Amino acid sequence: MSARHVFLIGFMGSGKTTVARIVASAIGRPCVDLDEEIERALGMSVADAFVRLGEPGFRAAEHDALAALATAEPGVVACGGGVVIDPRNRALLHELGLVVYLEVSAAEALARIGDTASRPLLAGSSGALAATTLLSARESLYAATADVRVDTSGSTPEEVAAVVTHAIQEAAS
Ligand code: S3P
């Protein structure tokens, strides 16, 4: 287990996927989207996985996808918002790379996401309440797992990516 990835963690809508793409291209590393890895492994969308396998089935696939990165070329990895729930994942993130927490408020996350249909945990009539409740339950896990925290409120993905790229360079020096 020697891969040194850069992991972007944080709530849904914090910009992990977009920022990962920009950072990966800036530092010349592959961009990995953990949700896409899970979808490829399961042969179904995240939304379908929640319906057909339930959240436990999705979380098991999420852990397997993260563990598989131990032998992958070091990349910039956008993690799903719930990756920090499993303590084994928190240990793996630390072991395999630099962990960057993209902080966002529940209100800004929801505004950025717009249509929540592809986010099973926020879909439905009470998305705002679900976002507030989930984020407050997870904030301490994100903070405890992070090596670096970046506040994304009011910033463009390009601005956030510049801060993340700088943090990566600092960590390497
Ligand atoms: C989840 C976040 C999603 C996806 C799944 C569960 C979560 O990823 O993994 O819907 O528990 O926060 P994004 O954070 O990329 O939306």
Residue written as token pair 């962990």: 99
Position in ligand 1 atom list of the atom nearest CA 118? 10
Position in ligand 1 atom list of the atom nearest CA 11? 14
Render pLDDT for 15-70 as a digit per residue (tens, 0 to 9).
999 999 999 999 999 999 999 999 999 999 999 999 999 999 999 999 999 999 99
Position in ligand 1 atom list of the atom nearest CA 47? 10
Phi-psi region of 43 (alpha: psi -120 to 50; beta: other; left: phi over 0): left
Q: How far is the CA of 11 from the centre of ligand 1 (A)?
A: 8
Query: Which pTM does this prediction carry?
Result: 0.96
Q: How far is the CA of 47 from the centre of ligand 1 (A)?
A: 10
Give the tokens for residue 55: 């959240």
Q: How far is the CA of 110 from the centre of ligand 1 (A)?
A: 13
Are the CB atoms for 3 and 74 separated by under 8 Å? yes
Q: How far is the CA of 112 from the centre of ligand 1 (A)?
A: 14
Q: Which residues are 78's β-sheet partners?
A: 8, 33
CA distance 148 to 167: 7
Percent of the chain with pLDDT over 90: 89
Closest CA to 109 of 139, 78, 135, 148: 135
Give mean pLDDT, residues 133-144.
96
**pLDDT score for 1:** 36
DSSP one-letter string for 103-166 = E--HHHHHHHH---TT-TTT-STTHHHHHHHHHHHHHHHHHHH-SEEEE-TT--HHHHHHHHHH
